[in-house]
Amino acid sequence: MSYNDEIARLLYEFADRLEADGVEYKPNAYRRAAENIADHPEPIDQLAMSGQAEVEKIDRVGDAIASKVVEYFETGEIAELSELRESMPVDMAALTSVEGVGPKTVGTLYEALDITDLDELETAAEAGEIQEIKGFGAKTEQNILDNIPFARQSQQRERLGDARPIADRLLDYLDSVDAIERVEVAGSIRRWKDTIGDVDVLTASEDSQAVVDAFTEWEAADDIIEAGSHKSSLRADDVRVDLRVVVPEEFGAALQYFTGSKDHNVRLRNVAIDQERKLNEYGVFDVSGLDSNPEESTDEDARREGIRLGGETEAEMYEALGLPWIPPELREDTGEIQAATEGELPDLLEQAAIRGDLHTHSEWSDGRYTIREMAEAAANRGYAFHAVTDHAAGAGIIESIGLTDEDLREQADEIAVVRDEVDIDLLHGVETNIEADGSLSTSTDLLADLDVVVASPHSALDQDTETATERICKAIREPTVDIIGHPTGRMINSREGLPLDVTTVAECAAEHGTALEVNANPLRLDFHGEAVRAVVEAGGTIAINTDAHGPGAFDNVRYGVQTARRGWAEADDVINTWDSDRLRSFISE
């Protein structure tokens, strides 16, 4: 997590606690400041060291908030935030992870029942105490109770988008340690799952103690959990990080083993057994000459018995079994080993193939930058095209940010001017709302005049599977719709979203030539990998968009690409990899 993200997280918490305390207006100011700091291209710590005036140059960061930013870097805390935590000692993140429980509700529950965490919330709901609070009721209480299990689950796993930046910072740090020859993440974070249990890091070195010492001296470590001779664990930004040190000649074997998944490894070991070979974290061995296969032995020497065929690299592990290297994103035992055996592994999409973003926002709705600034930032990334798709008015959209048909026609004039002045194919679009019945919140005549139409669900996300699936398919069948944005509407660890029959939705989209989006915002990653696989198998198309509200969010495209790779997507499956002519032909059909 960068310092910009760290400060943004603190300001979001500040806003939530102010709102829980009944403070008006200020919470929104803190949230806007948090958004702009997270998006700001310059490191906030360097600005703070240069003085408060430099921090105030960030849009919507006034002197009061800027002074708190400087205070944090000077003292390590924000005193007023600490006071708010003491006056209302609640686990804000856990309680607000329950769908339907916002900061104001947290404040009310604390004041009325002294509820500070999920256990106390569940106890109160089961006892019928919440429905007795003014403004609540039996239905609200039951909804809270129903949503607590999901909230608990979300608290046990970290979002990929929260954990990956921590892992990247650690990789950069360890890469500079002289004693380390190779370093890589392993586990679910290397497979780019949308949530992870902890960050697993593997290193190759002949001096394990020097590696452990360097690891425990990492400046980002909040506390050391344990420090052994070859293993160590610490906590950084509330995320557990586990380090393992192996000798260089066994690094590839350990990387393959600890990357997983367990199901993939079990099936791969069975392939090895059929070939009288042994596969484990120490290497791959020919055991045909041994009296017995010591694969299950807990003795390290026994697990290294046999003729060593490889282990320094992952590629050696697969090659020894007659297989090509299998990308980590595919290692879920969903047919990848059979595909590798038959030479039919997909040529997975690479980030370099992405040529533009088709779902972004400007200051016309809830974005924080002008159309020109967003288009120029896209052009500076080397993109060939860029679409402006601000929110249209509709259910689930704040009235002040949703654009009417008249607003969109007025916006078209500005886009026409900017289009002539930027070196990029600039498309005018909209993110129209898919209402509960599948209708769209923007008139058909207006949609027909736009270059690209993204239709997304933002409300009524508690529908049953049949209703939700028909709702999305109805929008797909609308001729003006080009892309279905974040199709389920899920927010990872916050709400589950629509329970779609993804196979039916994928087949419907393929039939009607509508792309289904992988929303690369790490809070969403919607569609998820399994759904992408359904789209690919149905012969449909994927759009990978960042839903950017500022230029900094363009970097999130990597999460979308990796999610699509988990769904076996190749470059040609993704409309963002096409040239402008092919893209415009697709969205004009």
Q: Backbone dihedral region of 195: left (phi > 0), alpha (psi from -120 to 50 degrees) or beta?
A: beta
pLDDT score of 299: 66
pLDDT score of 40: 81
CATH superfamily of 3-156: DNA polymerase beta, N-terminal domain-like (1.10.150.110)
Domain spanning 351-588: which CATH class is it, in words? Answer: alpha beta
CA dihedral for 566, 569, 574, 578, sign (positive or negative): positive
Distances (CA, A) of 77 to 40, 82, 158: 21, 8, 24
Distance CA 20, CA 108 (A): 7
Q: Name the one residue in this structure whose structure tokens are 């400060």.
A: 7
Q: Tell me if the domain spanning 259-341 has CATH number 3.30.210.10.
A: yes
Look at strands 199-204 and 385-391 and give their pairing: unpaired
Q: Is 589 exposed, middle or buried (0-12, 13-18, 19+ CB in 10 A)?
A: exposed
Distance CA 249, CA 230 (A): 15
CB 345 within 8 A of CB 336: yes
List b or e across 431-441, with b for residues whose CB sees 16 or more CB atoms inside 10 angstroms.
bbbbbbebebb
Distance CA 435, CA 456 (A): 9
Q: Is 285 helix (H, G, I), strand (E, B) or coil?
A: strand
Cα(first)–Cα(last) distance of the chain, in Å?
A: 42
CB 176 within 8 A of CB 218: no
Cα 256–Cα 262–Cα 264 angle in degrees, nearest 5? 70
Show Cβ contacts of residue 528 under 8 Å, excluding neighbours closer than 6 positions.
194, 563, 566, 567
Neighbours of 23 (CB within 10 A): 14
Cα 141–Cα 144–Cα 147 angle in degrees, nearest 5? 150
What radius of gyration, in Å, describes the C-alpha atoms of the chain?
26
The residue extents of the domains of the chain are: 3-156, 159-246, 259-341, 351-588
Hey, what are 547's tokens? 């839903």
Distance of CA 140 to the CA centre of its chain: 30
Q: Is 274 helix (H, G, I), strand (E, B) or coil?
A: helix
Q: Is 260 helix (H, G, I), strand (E, B) or coil?
A: coil
Q: Is 496 helix (H, G, I), strand (E, B) or coil?
A: coil
Distance CA 168, CA 166 (A): 5
CATH number among 3.30.460.10, 1.10.490.10, 1.10.10.10, 3.40.190.10, domain 159-246: 3.30.460.10
CA dihedral for 356, 358, 363, 366, sign (positive or negative): negative
Distances (CA, A) of 462 to 70, 166, 469, 473, 497: 43, 33, 12, 17, 7
Using a cut of 0.75, tell me whether the model's pTM lies above it: yes
Distances (CA, A) of 117 to 62, 66, 88, 90, 244: 33, 31, 12, 6, 34
CB 424 within 8 A of CB 380: no
Q: Name the one residue in this structure whose structure tokens are 């002074």.
A: 67
Distance CA 458, CA 509 (A): 19
Q: Is 509 exposed, middle or buried (0-12, 13-18, 19+ CB in 10 A)?
A: buried
Query: pLDDT per position in the chain (589 positions), as tens?
Result: 567 888 988 999 999 999 999 998 899 899 989 988 987 878 898 899 899 999 999 988 999 999 999 999 888 889 999 999 999 999 998 899 888 899 999 999 999 999 999 999 999 999 999 999 999 999 999 999 998 988 887 677 899 999 999 999 999 999 999 999 999 999 999 999 999 999 999 999 999 999 999 999 999 998 999 999 899 999 998 899 999 999 999 999 999 999 999 999 999 999 999 999 999 999 999 998 886 655 555 567 778 889 999 999 999 999 999 999 999 999 999 999 999 999 999 999 999 999 999 999 999 998 989 999 999 999 999 999 999 999 998 877 877 789 999 999 999 999 999 999 999 999 999 999 999 999 999 999 999 999 999 999 999 999 999 999 999 999 999 999 999 999 999 999 888 899 999 999 999 999 999 999 999 999 999 999 999 999 999 999 999 999 999 999 999 999 999 999 999 999 999 999 999 999 999 999 8
Distance CA 362, CA 356 (A): 16
* Element holding 184 (H helix, E strand): strand 182-186
Distance CA 194, CA 159 (A): 6
pLDDT score of 397: 80
Distance CA 495, CA 185 (A): 28
Picking from 103, 96, 108, the residue whose alpha carbon sits closest to that of residue 144 is 96
Distance CA 130, CA 152 (A): 19
3-156 and 351-588 share one CATH topology? no
Picking from 140, 148, 100, 106, the residue whose alpha carbon sits closest to that of residue 123 is 148
What backbone phi and psi angles, to 5 degrees, belong to 9? -60, -40
* Element holding 454 (H helix, E strand): strand 452-456
CA dihedral for 265, 188, 547, 457, sign (positive or negative): positive
Distance CA 219, CA 76 (A): 13
CA dihedral for 528, 529, 530, 536, sign (positive or negative): positive
CB 576 within 8 A of CB 544: yes
